[in-house]
Amino acid sequence: MESSTGSERVTLAQVAERAGVSVMTASYTYNRPNRVSDQARSKVLAAAAELGYPGPDPSARSLRRGSTRTLGVVMGEHLSYAFEDPEATSFLAGIADVCADRGYGMTILPITGGSADVPRVTDAAVDGFIVWTTSDDDPILAAVQAMKRPAVVHGGPAVNGMGLVSIDNRAAARAVGSLAFAGAQRPAVVSFPLSRDRTSTIEGGADITAVRFPVTRERLEGYRQAAEDTGTAWHDVIVAVCARNDAAEAERIAATLLAFDEPPDAIAAMSDQQAAGVVRAARAAGRVIPDDVAVTGWDDAAVARQLGLTTVAQSLRDQGAACALAALGHEPNSQTAPWSIVRRDSTRV
Amino acid sequence: MESSTGSERVTLAQVAERAGVSVMTASYTYNRPNRVSDQARSKVLAAAAELGYPGPDPSARSLRRGSTRTLGVVMGEHLSYAFEDPEATSFLAGIADVCADRGYGMTILPITGGSADVPRVTDAAVDGFIVWTTSDDDPILAAVQAMKRPAVVHGGPAVNGMGLVSIDNRAAARAVGSLAFAGAQRPAVVSFPLSRDRTSTIEGGADITAVRFPVTRERLEGYRQAAEDTGTAWHDVIVAVCARNDAAEAERIAATLLAFDEPPDAIAAMSDQQAAGVVRAARAAGRVIPDDVAVTGWDDAAVARQLGLTTVAQSLRDQGAACALAALGHEPNSQTAPWSIVRRDSTRV
DNA sequence: TCCCATCTGTGTAACGATACACAACGCCGC
DNA sequence: GCGGCGTTGTGTATCGTTACACAGATGGGA
């Protein structure tokens, strides 16, 4: 065994020469061992061991074969976000299940939200792409599309030529919203950001058509319908936008809402993380849930069980797996995922 | 823009021909735009757009350049494990931070614990490897070593030619163990698996030298020392081994321990997840913490704060980042990470 | 006017591997 | 003895790109 230090990369040709066989015999030794005689195979393996050959170079192999056996995953606006959001994490776990099963690697692309992101997509040696929920105008989408490889978007937006795996956010929001807003006089919504310049705002109503994140837009539409169903005009519904999906920020913003002269008596959030923050703020303000203020979440995370939150259950893990399967296929493949309402004690009905 | 359906892959040569320039001019257009005139550049880009050229093929580029700008990560015995353990997740987040910063992708390898794992390492088109804590005899280690690329192990074992990023588990265990066992008559340990065939066992003492996971071995050594420091011989310390790092299993096994005629009055776990399970079991058995039974965890996770657990604080995120930096370097690079004791109310002292 | 530095453009030779087609060989049954 | 089949070995072309070295054009300073 040679030291790797200073030695040039050993190639299959060198191994073949040392073993006294042709390059193809050496190649077959690695790829189709039964294609060569026991004798030849052991000569090759011996030569490889002597030279310290690391095995066929993966890049060369990918080039020649035209496939990398790897899926690329684009997670939100910053790579590390993928590991901070528990729902994003279970989505990744679903992808991982399928990849492990099929022997595919999963490459998480180093997206940072800056202008350098497009070349990173362009440079990704992957067979297919999975894109986590993003905005209509995310330049990553065009970059992925230009790669002309199978691609799937999770959540939204729908992009021509790419698959889409999502639940019916509008219907789910309407359903959970009508539980949240039942019997309420002053419903409010705690929302994800409306556009890529994640600013926190509080306003009555919100121009839903201007919202750039399709998932958020659909949920707001659902909440609007729920509000109208229960007799409140949309412009009277307070929409509090959080810059991040994060309990701490939701807690701060909910504390602000609850300190109003006419505080909301129902708050529909967009994740259980946010809802947990709202619950904390409500308790800190001495409110009783759901009597003083009803609260709903989204995702049916562990925290929702702990707090007894009414929420929308969906399996991000299954959706991740569905995305992976779709990205492994060759036709654009879309799928509508199931959801259900979990009614607990944080709503009046 | 051409449809991707049925059309062959477009190459740089075709773009160059269409643009009426040489292949190199086309190549420079993508790689060193300033190297070509504005005129030539726009001809190339126009031709590329007409043909629907997706940009230089990443595999070919990697082959030629000799670098993939991607780091490979091997996480435990099954890929999806990486996303189920919150500590593993923050380790990944640390890697992600560094990768995003440097424009590197991170490929998580599809390890399943089976014999098919070695070829997956061999097939990984990455510049360096990061291996999450594993056992001395994990065949993945030899496979990674054979790849002759920069590699770092997190936790252990130490492997010749690879870096190692770890805390001093022995010292930390001794420190937290002496808090756990202070004033206790019958100390116990809730442990990670001792070998790759993850079996749950309960026994007095444990043959520490036979433990195949270095991190677990070092912690047991530390706990042994802590027990001896506080006057208990190791063979009188009950060691309860959990097959998985998981609150539910720790709860079950702790319930068993606490039902003994002479139940333990101090339990040192190896993670906060496990400690949380122990706390639940203790409460269910009507014990008061720490008076009836002291409990310690490890990692200073969110749950440790919630439950008031005395624990060992370490930053897996920082350690992930350190691993990534080491794997990006060319020399084997090791680092000992800091830790500290967080004393809360789950111990007598 | 001449020379040299800078800017653009080009052809060729790798990078390391595998698909494919073909050839040589032995063995079987008739 | 011969045709045919399965096994084993080999040469060549190719995957798509970029490094390198060189050539011609341009321009400014002496």
Question: What is residue A7's predicted lDDT score, i.e. its pLDDT?
Answer: 54
Mean pLDDT, rounded, for B176-188? 97
CB atoms within 10 A of CB B66: 10
Mean pLDDT, rounded, for B105-111? 91
- Residue B171 and residue B133: Cα distance in Å, rounded? 18
Residue pLDDT, tens place only, A118-169: 889 999 999 999 999 999 999 999 999 999 999 999 998 999 999 999 999 9
Residue pLDDT, tens place only, B284-338: 999 999 999 999 999 999 999 999 999 999 999 999 999 999 999 877 789 999 9
Average pLDDT, rounded, for chain B: 93
Q: Which two tokens stand for residue A191?
A: 């929302």
Cβ-Cβ contacts under 8 Å for B288 (sequence gap 6 or more):
none
> Can you say how many angstroms the Cα of residue A39 is from the centroid of all Cα atoms in its chain?
50
Per DSSP, which regions of chain B are E strands? Answer: 70-74, 105-108, 128-131, 151-154, 163-166, 187-191, 201-204, 238-241, 266-268, 294-296, 311-313, 335-336, 340-342
**Is the pLDDT at A215 greater than 90, yes or no?**
yes
**What residues of A are in contact with residue B149 (Cβ under 8 Å)?**
54
Question: What is residue B3's predicted lDDT score, i.e. its pLDDT?
Answer: 36
Residue pLDDT, tens place only, B143-168: 999 999 999 999 989 999 999 999 99
**What residues of B are in contact with residue A69 (Cβ under 8 Å)?**
123
Mean pLDDT, rounded, for B26-35? 95
Mean pLDDT check: name the lowest of A5-9, A157-161, B245-249.
A5-9
Question: What is residue B86's predicted lDDT score, i.e. its pLDDT?
Answer: 87
Place of tokens 């490979």: B72
B109 touches B74 (CB < 8 A) = yes
3-state secondary structure B129-178: EEECCCCCCCHHHHHHHHCCCCEEEECCCCCCCCEEEECCHHHHHHHHHH
CA A28, C1' D13: Å apart? 18
pTM of the predicted protein model: 0.93
Selection from A255, A284, A254 nearest residue A267 by Cα: A254
Distance from CA of B96 to the nearest CA of A (A): 5
**Is the pLDDT at B5 greater than 50, yes or no?**
no
- Residue A289 and residue A106: Cα distance in Å, rounded? 43
Question: What is residue B8's predicted lDDT score, i.e. its pLDDT?
Answer: 73
| Position with higher pLDDT, B330 vs A256 | A256
Q: At how many degrees (to 10) do helices A214-229 and A169-181 cross?
A: 40
Q: Which two tokens stand for residue A56?
A: 């066929």
User: B197: pLDDT confidence band, cut at 50, 70 and 90?
Assistant: confident
- Chain A 17-36, CB < 7 Å to strand C: 23-24, 27, 30-31
B313 touches B319 (CB < 8 A) = no
Closest Cα in chain A to B52: A146
- Residue A315 and residue A115: Cα distance in Å, rounded? 32
Mean pLDDT, rounded, for B71-90? 86
**Is the pLDDT at A3 greater than 70, yes or no?**
no
Mean pLDDT, rounded, for B98-114? 90
Question: What is residue A67's predicted lDDT score, i.e. its pLDDT?
Answer: 94
User: A4: pLDDT confidence band, cut at 50, 70 and 90?
Assistant: very low
Q: At how many degrees (to 10) do helices A12-19 and A38-51 cross?
A: 120
Average pLDDT, rounded, for chain A: 93
CA B59, C1' D26: Å apart? 38
User: B104: pLDDT confidence band, cut at 50, 70 and 90?
Assistant: very high
User: B113: pLDDT confidence band, cut at 50, 70 and 90?
Assistant: confident
**Is the pLDDT at B2 greater than 50, yes or no?**
no
CB contact under 8 A, B4 and A70: no
Looking across all nucleic acid strands, the nucleotide with the smallest C1' to CA distance from residue A64 is D15
Task: Pick the most confident of A96-100, A144-148, A175-179.
Answer: A175-179
CA A84, C1' D6: Å apart? 58
Nearest to A78 among B56, B100, B102 (CB): B100
Question: What is residue B299's predicted lDDT score, i.e. its pLDDT?
Answer: 97
Number of A/B CB contacts below 8 angstroms equals 155
> Can you say how many angstroms the Cα of residue A329 is from the centroid of all Cα atoms in its chain?
19
Question: What is residue A115's predicted lDDT score, i.e. its pLDDT?
Answer: 80
Q: Which two tokens stand for residue B17?
A: 């021909």
Mean pLDDT check: name the lowest of A304-313, B110-119, B166-175.
B110-119
Question: What is residue A330's predicted lDDT score, i.e. its pLDDT?
Answer: 76
Question: What is residue B155's predicted lDDT score, i.e. its pLDDT?
Answer: 95
Q: Is the CB of B32 under 7 A from strand C?
A: no
**What residues of A are in contact with residue B84 (Cβ under 8 Å)?**
93
Mean pLDDT, rounded, for A44-49? 96
User: B7: pLDDT confidence band, cut at 50, 70 and 90?
Assistant: low
Q: Quote the Cα angle for B46-B48-B51, to 5°.
A: 110
**Is the pLDDT at A288 greater than 50, yes or no?**
yes
Nucleotides on chain C that have an atom closer than 7 A to a protein CB are 7-12, 14-21
Q: Which two tokens stand for residue B271?
A: 């993670």
Host H or E run for residue A18: helix A12-19
Selection from A293, A236, A289 nearest residue A259 by Cα: A293
Closest Cα in chain A to B144: A54
Mean pLDDT, rounded, for A303-307? 94
Q: Which two tokens stand for residue A269?
A: 């959030």
Closest Cα in chain B to A150: B4
- Going from the C-alpha of B138 to that of each of B92, B145, B196, B208, the distances in angstroms are 21, 12, 8, 18
| Position with higher pLDDT, B128 vs A82 | B128
Per cent of chain A over pLDDT 70 is 98
- Going from the C-alpha of A149 to that of each of A71, A143, B4, B14, B64, the distances in angstroms are 10, 11, 9, 19, 22
**Is the pLDDT at A6 greater than 70, yes or no?**
no
Q: Which two tokens stand for residue A79?
A: 């790579």
